[in-house]
Structure 1
Amino acid sequence: MSLAMETAAESAAAHEDAPRRSWAAVLALARFETRDLLRYIPVLATLLLYVGWTAWTLFHSKDGMDAFPALQNVDRGTQSGPLLLGIGLFVCVNRCTLRSRRRGTDRQFDVLAMERWRRTVAHILSIVPFAVFTALVVLAEFARQALRAGAVGHASPAELAVGPLYVLLCGAIGVLLARLIPTTFAAPFGVIAFVVLSLFVSEATNDAAWSRWLSPIVSESSGDTVLPSDLVGRPAAWHALYLTGLFLLLALGAVLVSGGRELWLKAGTAGALALTLAGVVGQSGGVSPELAAARARATVSPQKEQSCVTRGGSTYCAFPEWTGHTGTWAGVVDRVQSLAGGTAARQPLLVRQRVDARYGLSGEGAIEPFTAPDQVTVGTRWGGNRIPEFAVGVASVLVAGSESKGSDLCDGRVVTTMWLALGGASHPLGELRNVRIDDSVTGSAYVLAPTSGLSMSAEQTDVVRELLGRPRGEVTAAVQRHWAELTASGVSTTQVAKVLGAEVPKGAKDCAEE
């Protein structure tokens, strides 16, 4: 082989190997930038805060309802955790990207083999480990909830992806801002500008659905609302597509601004723009007529969507995702009926799960009580205070005959109802506090139930509190022996106290005596 041919071959081999070495250098720089980001206090502090807060909420929760999570709500709950981490990365990645400019080394970098746009790629890649870490925390948080024995429902992978995508998006914005406005003051003002812009758009569009979904994280003012997963109706997949496209668009835009002119960069930017627009259009569709009809059907005619089982003579009807809870509902019904007398102790009940889904997650419609006899409502949330509230609903039906009549109780039957609901609880006084809206065990208060609750006077509260402090068997025997008298319409609180051997409250007045 001639010297000329050998030189040409070596030159061609070196030329072919150059891109490989360039990308290896980019990855090496990205690893360095990732380690450097961990040296910044905002990143490290928000990272530790995110992990610590997530662990605390998972392992130190005292709310009994947390033992019965609905996974279609859990997935959305993972999105707010990385909020501060994203802001910290935005500011610090911006600062890292401007490091060479701050230190006056731009001219030295310009003579290196690695082009400026490749250094921009390295800064963008330095964010990826933080997004991966966020994804691991999200998966751990979700797995912890999904493995609980009382977990119900189905999660959306697209909802779970929002947290990591948000972290990527914040980093990409920081890099792009550094290339467009090369000053460190731009990042803090950028955060303020984003907040102001979000408020302005929300106000200008009257908080329209399409404008709300332009935000990376879209929360719902759902309160205690838990819907069947097929009725949630959030465009989660379209939103994840929108966030993915927006991240790629901003990242590739930063590379183009930095001098990248390769064809694949331009094609990728065009593709990212198409993904972003497709996501925007898809997530702006609103509630479809089919979904609205399904929500109305689940609200007005839940029996069309439910399956029923019989336990101990009573029938329990639930939406498909909650059929596993019928056993725990039956346990509460059996406990309440074991304290009742007369035919109520053996009365078959129809326990039906109900939810007002017509307004989606953005509203909480009140559930009207059943007017038909021997029918009891149970909600889609369970555990914690929902258990004694359900017991109140069962007891009111056993005493008054129906939910609508039970919500109108104001005479001495309130005492009988509350004894049935709480007398069999392991901590009856604590349960009494939990079902009262003001968390008290003295004075008058409103008692919560799955539908309409009932009102307790101060005198009725005193009698109930005394009964709950006495031996359960003694009070149960008295209740069962005088059942007809204790559940008679118009019976006074004074009469109930005398029959059950409790101290007669002075000046007791209820609706039967007013």
Structure 2
Amino acid sequence: MNTVMEPDGLRTTPPVVPGEPHRPWAAVAALARFEARDLLRYIPVLVTLLVYVGYTLWTLLSEREGMNAFPALQDVDRGTQSAPLLLGIALLVCVNRGALRSRRHGTDRHFDVLVMEPWRRTVAHVLSVLPFAVLTALVVLGEFTWQALRPGAVGHGSVAELAVGPLYVLLCGALGVLIARLVPTVFAAPILVLGLFTAATFISAGTGGAEWSRWLSPVVGENSSKTLPSDLIGRPAAWHALYLIGLVLLLATAAVLAGGGRAWPVKAGLAGALALTATGAVAQSGGVSAELSAARERATLSPEKQQSCTRHGASTYCAFPEWTGRADTWAGVVDRVQSLAAGPAAEQRLLVRQRIDATYGYTSDSTITPATTPHQVTVGTRWGGNRVPEFAAAVASVLVAGDETKGGELCDGRMVTVMWLALGGAADPTADLRDVRLDDSLSGSAIVLTPTHPLSMSAGQTSVVVELLKRPRDEVTATVKKHWAELTAPGVTTAEAARVLGAEVPKEDDECGE
């Protein structure tokens, strides 16, 4: 301590330590690290973080079969956005509570004697969420990379779509700090969460789900099971990412301003963030362009203009650019079905064409109209799981009836032959029969799904097919090939088909009349 003589007496001043410059931002970084570690002490944050990481790992390790084994990356990127939702909400509440710690403990007045200004402490609280956003980004990147390396992966992902999860986490953290500075009570954050969900529901209902209001939400999902080519999706992902970045900066700078930061860089940053948010919000609400609508219509009505075709064996396979590598897989199913057939069907040249209904993007799940072109079979953009027996049923119906339209009208004994061709060569034909039927049953009448309009099985046809699938495959195959002309003749009844195949004649009649 130094003693200085002044006119009004002696004054003691603290010693000056040479070589110790004032570094306020180093102190901010140290406080941010402390607050980030402290957030892990909150049970909601720790639990939701473990659930998020654990659930992601579990889904990746368990998705080895079915449609999940053949991911489309333009769907995978959107799939990473919903899992961080609970983590973001937990961070919002707990960051808010951490920012109010000094107020709860009555230590606010002690901060007046510290070197760090209150607004810098606000900055530290905002930065404390950054490690969680980085961790979210690593999980998102790992999930996408895992899916992209799968042998059956197709398509292209979007960096802007992948950025939504980490940006959402930052957004929740910044909002929690802002609420702490504006409404310094721990009850404000939970009430805000409920209020936001309620407001979002009312806004969506009040605007009729309009495009501009839908994209104001941080995470925008699609209530659709279809997969579209990447260039036909039409989601304003880049503008939405810009909107979220602006919103994060807007809330963060507003929190610093409310925490006492009155310097001109803070005010300029607030104005810039507001402009960024407004730009993204306006740009993302533009809707579908005329060019995109025209491209979707061409892909729906004239897919051959955008597709490339390859030859495998006797058949030709045409697909959109992102799916051309899947022709070998489709050819394997076609070869399997044709190996059970006889007569002209065993040598028939098929045209397998990928078809979609992209007219209204993801907002419509309408069924694809069956093709009237002879010997053309439709295949969709999704593959694996139920899609395999559905495609096999479509191939079999075309081999028996001649085209998809006539195949959809089959209701006589030829359905027994169709279902044997579709399922007889499968690794687990009984399971595939369940999967391809709408009600997942092995008895009674049912709808049989295909990539286009469904087929129909009567109860009698079902009983005959189930019996055939339980018998030795070679035995049934030989009988089908020997009596191919009889089994594929128009008007053949189910009872006649059962007698030819040596199966029990069903008591139920065919349902063609219905």
Shorter-chain TM-score bucket reads: over 0.9
8 A Cα contact 1:359 1:365, kept in partner: no
Letter of the 2:291 partner, please give it.
E
Q: Is 2:201 the counterpart of 1:206?
A: no
CA distance in 1, matches of 2:487, 2:388: 24
What is the CA-CA distance between 1:482 and the residue it aligns to? 1.2
Any idea what the Cα deviations from partners look like across 1:401-430, whole Å, max 9, x if unmatched?
Answer: 010000000000000000000011111111
1:56-95 superposed matches below 5 A: 56-61=58-63, 63-95=65-97
Would the aligned equivalents of 1:64 and 1:385 in 2 still touch at CA under 8 Å? Answer: yes
Q: Does the CA-based 8 Å contact 1:412-1:510 persist in structure 2?
A: no
Amino acid at match of 1:488: A
Residues 1:121 and 2:123 aligned together: yes
Q: Quick check: 2:91–2:173 contact (8 Å CA) kept in 1?
A: yes
Conservation of the 8 A alpha-carbon contact between 2:133 and 2:169: yes
**What is the SS of the residue equivalent to 2:456?**
strand
1:52 alignment counterpart: 54
Q: 1:171-190, aligned counterparts within 5 Å?
A: 171-190=173-192
Q: Distance in 1 between matches of 2:112 and 2:280?
A: 38
Give the 5 Å matches for 1:438-457. 438-457=439-458
* Residue-by-residue CA offset, 1:360-379 (whole Å, 9 max, x unaligned): 11221210001121000000
Note the 1:274-285 alignment, pairs <5 A. Answer: 274-285=275-286
Q: 1:320: Cα distance to partner?
A: 0.2
Residues 46 and 88 in structure 1, CA contact (< 8 A), matched pair in contact too: yes
Moved more, 26-35 or 469-478: 469-478
Secondary structure class of the residue paired with 2:447:
strand
Counterpart CA distance in 1 for 2:154 and 2:63 is 18
What amino acid does structure 2 have at the position aligned with 1:394? V
How many Å apart are 1:508 and its aligned residue?
2.9
Work out the CA distance in 2 between the residues paired with 1:367 and 1:68.
21
Distance 1:509 1:244 in 2: 63
Residue of structure 1 in register with 2:397 after alignment: 396
Which residue in 2 is equivalent to 1:346? 347
Structure 1 alignment gaps of length 5 or more:
1-9
TM-fit CA distance, 1:476: 1.1
Distance in structure 1 (CA, Å) of the matches to 2:507 and 2:439: 23
Deviation of residue 452 (structure 1)?
Answer: 1.1
Q: Which runs of 5+ in 2 are unaligned?
A: 1-14
**Residue in 2 that maps onto 1:220:** 222
Structure 2 residue 227 is matched with structure 1 residue 236: no
- Choose from 162, 165, 170 the match for 1:163: 165
Query: Does structure 1 residue 107 correspond to structure 2 residue 92?
Result: no
Percent identity between the two aligned chains:
70
Aligned pair partner of 2:149 in 135, 144, 147: 147
Q: In the alignment, which residue of structure 2 is the partner of 1:269?
A: 270
Measure the CA separation in 2 of the matches of 1:208 and 1:352.
Answer: 35
**Deviation by residue 1:333-352 (Cα, 9 ceiling, x = unmatched):** 01101111100100000000
Residue pairs, 1:301-340, within 5 angstroms: 301-340=302-341
Is the 1:221–1:363 contact (alpha carbons within 8 Å) kept by the matching residues of 2?
no
Q: CA deviation at 1:14?
A: 7.7
The residue that corresponds to 1:245 in the other structure is 246
SS in 2 for 1:142: helix
TM-score if structure 1 supplies the norm length?
0.95
Classify the secondary structure of the residue corresponding to 1:183. Answer: coil
Give the alignment's TM-score, normalised by structure 2: 0.95
Q: How many residues align?
A: 500
TM-fit CA distance, 1:63:
4.9
Instruction: Give the C-alpha shift of residue 510 in structure 1.
Output: 3.6
Alpha-carbon shift at residue 507 of structure 1 (Å): 3.9
Q: How many Å separate the matches in 1 of 2:170 and 2:112?
A: 27
Q: What is the distance in 2 between the residues matched to 1:204 and 1:339?
A: 57
2:137 corresponds, among 131, 135, 138, to 135
Answer whether contact 2:63 2:69 (CA < 8 A) is retained: no
1:503 aligns with 2:500: no
Task: Output the CA distance in 1 between the equivalents of 2:508 and 2:222.
Answer: 48
Q: Name the Cα RMSD after superposition.
A: 1.5
1:59-87 CA distance string (max 9 Å, x none)? 12365111100000000000001000000
